[in-house]
Structure 1
Amino acid sequence: MSTPETKPAKAPQFSSLKFTLAPAKTDDCCCDGECASTVAENLPDARYSWLVDGMDCAACARKVETAVSQIPGVKQVKVLFATEKLLVDADNDIRDQVERAVTAAGYTLRGENAPKTEQAPSRLRENLPLILLTLLMVISWGLEHFNHPLGNAAFIATTLVGLYPVARQALRLIKSGSWFAIETLMSVAAIGALFIGATAEAAMVLLLFLIGERLEGWAATRARQGVSALMALKPDTAVRVRGDQRETVAQQDLRPGDVIEVAAGGRLPADGTLLSPFASFDESALTGESIPVEHSAGERVSAGATSVDRLVQITVTSQPGDSAIDRILRLIEEAEERRAPIERFIDRFSRIYTPAIMVVALLVALLPPLAFSAPWLEWIYKGLTLLLIGCPCALVISTPAAITSGLATAARYGALIKGGAALEQLGRVQQVAFDKTGTLTVGKPQVTSVVATAELDENSMLALAAAVEQGSTHPLAQAIVREAQQRQLPLPTADNQRTLAGSGIEANVNGQRILICAAGKFPADAHQMQIEELEKAGNTVVLVTREETLLGILALRDTLRDDAREAIDTLHTLGIQGIILTGDNPRAAAAIAGELGLDFRAGLLPADKVTEVTALNAKAPLAMVGDGINDAPAMKASTIGIAMGSGSDVALETADAALTHNRLTGLAQMLRLARATHANVRQNIAIALGLKGIFLVTTLLGITGLWLAVLADTGATVLVTLNALRLLRMKLR
């Protein structure tokens, strides 16, 4: 049985990734091992979830949604095809009704942690209906060549054998609210063909339909392989260490604080902190980084990483269901809900298109005979053919197949994109705005100069600044604290710390207000020449003040990321222009911009960044790349916001995409993939509509018939799916 949970507020999308991903047809009831009759607590506004077995394509997901949406009390229902998950929001306990409705529609539900009740059927058993129908077709063709009446009877029998499961599923779907499913169209066409004497074609229609269903199932499995591989990264069990005792426990039984042991070649079952002095981990499955990453004691390591060369001990830090892998899976699920505008349009169009085609097919079958005394059998045949040509399967799957493949490929290369809408926006980007510190630079600046300007010596002034900056995640703040620690300075106690967005930070130390701010935010005329000299050297200068008195000057300098030049050059080859938007001083910004050949705007507050982004965005679609709290408003104002994986929680949550591996070269890869995905979508729509248009004309001219109509529909569906799967093999490096 599905476990209810009180529906929480919308979860942050990327916020928890920063700590872990940078250097995100049986009719039996079997849900979590409990019977459907178990009475559960009646929770208001609860969310229920299951896994759905038996879905072969994205259209199956819609059928399940339709069946569940008919239940009274259901507020919202969503099937996430990539992870085969059904989510239902309701104001009362509707689990029994949901299970009955889904079973009646021909699918099976089970709990998220429950194993499948049966082993996967063998290939022979799975393909037995198709093999049987193929044999019957061969026998019927043979009999037809020797004895027409006997062959005709054999084709009728073959049609009835193939029709039974299709018509049975069609009736199930009609009862659950899906009136215009492909099964319904196939049943009507096959029965109609029997009535007009086209028995061979009726049987061929069903055979081709079954072949198409098997091909769609195979393609869907391939499309889900990326997600399945991700789910398989976490081992089911772990070795927990308690004192001198070691015990094997289920992965979901691990709790924060547990110490686990992972052998060389083993994968981490949860996020944790390394206890061993040092070790190398293969994190390629999560970040796309092919080179093992060295970690020292105390550093965080993500679930799914593989210990390369030694036995290691890890302290678990993640709650069950909240590891790095779990968060990426949630992002993929949330991405499915954020469908691209073109996908939403195709979905709405297909809902009108199918019944409209049925009406047109009926008119084609009736009007010529009634109005112009045309032959009944000929035009009924054309109407039935048109009915099959009008099947929307290929059109419906054309967009989601490509977008799902694109999102899966992006995740494999360490780029997380929040759905089809974000992917579509990425494909339109013509210019990119970069924050400087932590984005184009390493984000770990070092203190290069300490100048005392009042009664305190350098070390005392530095200790005051470090006390105020303690606990801050800003790279400059962390550099000041590191410098004080390296000098082994005792730090006084600071309280009432308050961040001044875009300006600095203040706190009380020994009852006095200490402010640390950017040069230019505090009058320092007597030392202006000294500040300018430091800035000309590419330093960022901050001032330390106490009660309106300047205590000292700190100069810090950051270095470019190793891949910054390569990333900018690659963007230029894609025809994308770049600009730096930074709160740093113009001289420090000019030094970085000069090395990269970029334009820049410096000394910007968060509001100024929004103004610049809005102006640039009005000229051409712009992506804003950043990592700090002060970048979040600008990200929101841009066409699409992209966060570095090591960025602040606010930046990661605001962004539409994130580079979890923290490599700037991933930006060009992401944009190239987005463009390829859009091209793929356009190709798929052209294939789906083009084939239908061709066969529509040839049918009305009497050139093609029923079996070619099914072949066209099945062929189009398979072609668009295979075309979409090309994105999974796309090389971005």
Structure 2
Amino acid sequence: MSDIPLAKNQPFTLRVQGMDCGGCERKVESALKRLRYVESVSASAVAGSVQLTAQDGDVLLRQEIESTITALGYRIIDETSAAHDAGEATPWWQSPKGRLVIVSGALLTLAWVLKFVWPDLGTWPFVAATVVGLVPIVQRAWQALRLGNPFTIEMLMSIAALGALAINAAAEAAVVVFLFAVGEMLEGVAAAQARRSISALSKLTPSTARLLEQGEAREVSAASLVPGQRVQVRPGDRLPCDGTIVDGRSHIDESPVNGESMPREREQGESVFAGTVNLDGVLEVEVTRSAENNTIARVIKLVEEAQAAKAPVARFIDRFAFFYMPAVVAVALLVAIVPPLVSSMLWSESIYRALALLLIACPCALVISTPAAIAAGLSVGARNGLLMKGGAVLEQLGKLKRVALDKTGTLTAGMPTVTDVEGLEADSSGADVLRLAAALEQGSSHPLAVAIGNYARHQGVQVPAVQAGHALSGQGVAGQVEGRELMLVSPRYLQRFAARPSGWDARIEALETQGKSLAVLLENEQPLGLIALRDEPREDARSGLQALERLGVSVVMLSGDNARTVAAIGEQLGIEAEGELMPEDKAQRVRQWQAQGLGPVGKVGDGINDAPALAAAEVGIAMGSGTDVALETADAALLKNRVRGIAEMISLSRATMRNVKTNVVLALGFKAFFLVSTALGITGMWVAVMADTGATVLVTLNALYLLRYRFNDIS
């Protein structure tokens, strides 16, 4: 038992082994809710966890909680064991439920052989097979009853099997117990598969790192790394931390984190993430986040929190199941008592039908139908860089009718790039202007200077050296390049240095109308040419917006940038755009649309100024490169930093809800059909067990099929 106290009024999570279905969840939740000071409980069979909030924080309460879970037949495990169980598949025949299937099946087979060889032997071999298989079931039923939960599948199974023995249906009782064991084993296998699929992220970060100290590398635990330390990452190694490259250049496979299929070249000064793979160069990386706060850890935490947050449809199913089981038990009592009193039906026949009805009463398939699909959808999203903080968010995403997007860093890359380079004199070409401007900007960290330098490098331009380079306060830069006195200034300061050439004003106005920033190159106060720069739309911006349009979602751009730039980008992308908005203005626009019935509304952004609108929208989506405030405020995050990811989230939400509806129809359809057929005496007890456990396994497998989802319908 743990001697660690609880955090008062703060949620905490316990890893629980052995929960495999919705019935398990309900048993655990029902028992824990009866404990003193326990305020809320949410059990997840798919995640293998129980999340609680307590009004008190003493050690004894935690021990009482753990004792209650253990008394129900489940086992508390630590994070290391949970990760091991998620990654290592235990063969079914080595599990307790698997061993019970083998023993029960062997005894049942032996009983049939003995009956065939010695017909006069009687039913005792079947009684023995029933009792051996029933013992662990009765134990779990008694434990749940002691903790105040009489309506469990184990209790119903125990009553049905013992009742069958009482009416001399020992052979059928043995078959029922065996089929129940098989069904539980299959549920365990399916749930374990779901947990492995969802928990695969925990194995992405390597356990060790090569820490650099005084130029020497030594191997240390990756969990021990702290911000400021430096690590060496060799080709083929996974990055052990989030960090910034301080030396080296390499292609990085980021698909484990964000699902991006093509490796990206990263160089000095750029950020890299834990769990990604260094492909072809030695890197020296400075740690920026500790192990418990790196990208992988944050993703895992978000997914775990998401699994605990039930969707509205899941909460409805839970409420329905709460009344469903007692209602079916009441119907079974009526079926047992009424027919012999009003007709010539034998008591043994009516009791048999009632016992069969009890086996259908457990709503396992119905209860697991929704969380299994939701968990699978969240897992697919996480694998593809789409993080959603709960089933409610996943459900709501598919209902969005309008999405508002920020401009800078969301629709655009968030950094300026060169769009135009023009020479104004006959002897001044664009290439010459670029070469001289890049020389003047050497060593500057200004975004425009960096953009000009990067563009020159990508164009293969040989940049000459600059002498006596210096900044012109608030105006630009100046210096000597190849013996020439040069300046690079903004057009608004141009009149201080040179007369404007013919047609100059019209050209500048045309470029600035397109939302571009300009830098003019001067020699001896005479213009040689100009360079235009703009924060350009992301490569996938247009296709991402088109994908949203195909899904029937309207798009509006809301930005704090100047109206001319916003209008130019909006026109280029073909969407409605509004600029010069303060943070509260963006939130107000969202609320106006909601009041006008244009919602549900989604808001996408990456900065602190987007936080109010993210909170106001039904679904707030943060770009993964955004600020921590935006990420914390948002309901979802796009790790890929791609506009197309918004459409992928909506598409995945709709696919998940279709899966949920299919599962509910399957579960209710099976129940309804076999309730009627059993009440009429058409199907017996063993068919009832197959219907119950079969439906549970079927809906779980259907949910797991969602793990293979591909985003083809938005192409």
- Structure 2 letter corresponding to 1:613: V
Q: Aligned match of 1:426 in 397, 401, 411?
A: 397
Question: Which residue of 2 is the match for residue 125 of structure 1?
Answer: 94
1:454 maps to none
Q: Kindly provide the amino acid, as one letter, of the partner of residue 431 in structure 1.
A: R
* 1:101 maps onto 2:65 in alignment: no
Name the counterpart of 2:351: 380
TM-score, length basis structure 2: 0.80
List aligned pairs for 1:504-523, cutoff 5 A.
none
Contact 1:2–1:110, Cα closer than 8 Å, also in 2: no
1: CA distance between counterparts of 2:361 and 2:6? 43
**Alignment partner of 1:386: what SS?**
helix
- Following the alignment from structure 1 to structure 2, what is the Cα–Cα distance between the partners of residues 46 and 396? 27
User: Is residue 176 from structure 1 mapped to residue 147 from structure 2 by the alignment?
Assistant: yes
Tell me by how many angstroms 1:407 deviates.
0.4
Give the structure 2 partner of residue 566 of structure 1: 543
The letter of the residue matching 1:125 is: Q
In the other structure, the counterpart of 2:17 is 53
SS where residue 268 of structure 1 aligns?
coil
Question: What is the CA-CA distance between 1:391 and the residue it aligns to?
Answer: 1.1
The residue identity in structure 1 corresponding to 2:407 is K
Give 3-state SS (helix, strand or coil) of 1:432's partner: strand
Distance 1:181 1:540 in 2: 69
The residue aligned with 1:521 is none
Counterpart amino acid of residue 598 in structure 1? I
Distance of 1:239 and 1:68 partners within structure 2: 45
Q: Give the Cα separation in 2 of the matches to 1:121 and 1:623.
A: 42
The C-alpha deviation readout for 1:32-77, integer Å capped at 9, x for no partner, is: xxxxxxxxxxxx6677654322333354344334444444344444
Shift of 1:110: 3.2
3-state SS in 2 of match to 1:275: strand
2:533, 2:125 → 1: CA distance? 87
- 2: CA distance between counterparts of 1:245 and 1:479? 35
* CA distance in 2 between partners of 1:120 and 1:393 (Å): 24
CA 1:228–1:597 in 2, change beyond 3 Å: closer, same or farther? same
Query: What is the aligned partner in structure 1 of residue 458 from structure 2?
Result: none
Question: Structure 1 residue 422: deviation in Å?
Answer: 0.5
Higher mean C-alpha displacement, 614-623 vs 205-214: 614-623
Cα distance in 2 for partners of 1:229, 1:318 equals 21
> Which residue in 2 is equivalent to 1:296?
267
Are the aligned partners of 1:446 and 1:479 in contact in 2 as well (CA < 8 Å)?
no
SS in 1 for 2:94: helix
1:168-208 deviations in Å (ceiling 9; x for gaps):
12112222333222111111111111111222221121111
SS of the residue aligned with 1:270? Answer: coil
Cα–Cα, structure 1 residues 439 and 702, in superposed 2: closer, same or farther, change >3 Å? same
Residue 407 of structure 1 corresponds to 378
Report the Cα distance in structure 1 between the residues aligned to 2:254 and 2:656, rounded to whole angstroms. Answer: 26
Residues matched between the structures, number: 630
1:546-561 to 2 correspondence within 5 Å?
Answer: 557-561=534-538
Measured at CA, do residues 2 and 326 of structure 1 come closer, stay the same or move farther in structure 2, by a change above 3 Å? farther
Identify if the C-alpha distance between structure 1 residues 489 and 209 changes in structure 2 by more than 3 Å, giving closer, same or farther: farther
Q: Is the 8 A contact 1:152 1:199 kept in 2?
A: yes
User: Counterpart in 2 of 1:538?
Assistant: 515
Q: CA RMSD in A?
A: 3.5
**Deviations 1:224-268 (Å, cap 9, x if unpaired)?**
123331111122233333235544333322222333333322222
Correspondence 1:323-334 to 2 at 5 A? 323-334=294-305
SS state of the match for residue 661, structure 1?
A: coil
Q: Does 1:262 align with 2:238?
A: no
Correspondence list, 1:251-650, <5 A: 251-372=222-343, 374-445=345-416, 479=447, 535-539=512-516, 557-617=534-594, 618-650=597-629
CA distance in 2, matches of 1:66, 1:251: 40
Matched, 1:91 2:70: no
Partners of 2:23 and 2:362 within 8 A in 1 = no
Q: Is the 8 A contact 2:663 2:702 kept in 1?
A: yes
| Structure 2 partner of 1:110 | 77
Note if contact 1:540-1:588 (Cα within 8 Å) is conserved in structure 2.
no
Partner of 1:273, secondary structure, is strand
For residue 367 of structure 1, what is the amino acid of its counterpart? V
Superposed displacement of residue 442, structure 1: 1.6
Instruction: Quote the Cα distance in structure 2 between the aligned partners of 1:388 and 1:421.
Output: 32
Contact 2:416 2:533 in 1 (8 A): yes
Aligned-residue identity in percent? 46
Offset of 1:419 from its aligned partner?
0.6
The answer to whether the Cα contact below 8 Å between 1:2 and 1:111 also exists between their aligned partners in 2 is: no
Q: 1:649, CA displacement in angstroms?
A: 2.7
CA–CA distance in 2 between the matches of 1:374 and 1:419?
Answer: 52
How far the C-alpha of 1:415 sits from its partner, in A, is 0.5
Q: Deviations over 1:140-164 (max 9, x none)?
A: 2333345445352221111111101
For the residue of structure 2 that corresponds to 1:314, the secondary structure is strand
1:650 CA drift (Å): 2.7
Amino acid at match of 2:69: V
One-letter code aligned to 1:184:
M
Q: Which range moved further: 555-564 or 279-288? A: 555-564
The one of 651, 657, 669 equivalent to 1:678 is: 657
| Alignment CA distance shift 1:712-1:572 (3 Å) | same
Whichever residue aligns with residue 99 of structure 1, its letter is: E
Correspondence for 2:424: none
- The whole-number CA distance in structure 2 between the counterparts of 1:69 and 1:490 is 68
Q: CA deviation at 1:659?
A: 0.7
Q: Secondary structure at the match of 1:428?
A: coil
Segments of 5+ residues of structure 1 without an aligned counterpart are: 8-43, 450-469, 471-477, 494-527, 542-553
2:545 is matched by which residue type in structure 1?
I
Structure 2: distance between partners of 1:491 and 1:62: 71
Deviation, 1:666, is 1.5
Matches for 1:715-726 after TM superposition, within 5 Å: 715-726=694-705
Comparing 218-227 and 481-490, the one that deviates more: 481-490
Note the C-alpha offset of 1:653. 2.0
The structural deviation recorded for 1:708 is 0.8
Asked if 2 retains the 8 angstrom alpha-carbon contact of 1:338 and 1:419, the reply is yes
Q: Distance in 2 between matches of 1:273 and 1:717?
A: 48
Q: 1-side partners of 2:625 and 2:198: how far apart? A: 24
1: CA distance, partners of 2:585 / 2:699: 46
Query: Structure 1 residues 214, 651: closer, same or farther in 2, change over 3 A?
Result: same
Q: Which moved more, 1:60-69 or 1:291-300?
A: 60-69
The CA distance in 2 between the partners of 1:540 and 1:634, in whole Å, is: 28
The structure with the larger Rg is 2
| Contact persistence 1:434–1:624 (CA under 8 A) | yes
Q: CA deviation at 1:679?
A: 0.5
- The normalised TM-score by structure 1 is 0.78
In structure 2, the partner of 1:473 is none
- CA distance in structure 2 between the partners assigned to 1:265 and 1:676 by the alignment: 36
More off after superposition, 357-366 vs 416-425: 357-366
Most deviating of 275-284 and 611-620 = 611-620
Q: Deviations over 1:532-561 (max 9, x none)?
A: 6554233379xxxxxxxxxxxx99622111
2:249 and 2:265 in contact (8 A); partners too: yes
What secondary structure, in the 3-state scheme, does the structure 2 residue paired with 1:281 have?
strand
Which residue type is aligned with residue 554 of structure 2?
Q
Contact 2:20–2:46 (Cα < 8 Å) also in 1? no
Instruction: Write the deviation string for residues 365-390 of structure 1: whole angstroms up to 9, x where unpaired.
Output: 11222344632111111111111112
Unpaired runs of 5+ residues, structure 2, are: 421-444, 455-465, 475-504, 519-530
Describe the shift of the 1:342–1:531 C-alpha distance in structure 2 as closer, same or farther (beyond 3 A): farther
- Asked if the contact 2:15/2:82 (under 8 Å) is kept, the reply is no
SS at match of 2:211: strand
Question: Which range moves more in the overlay, 698-707 or 307-316?
Answer: 307-316
Displacement, 1:446?
5.2
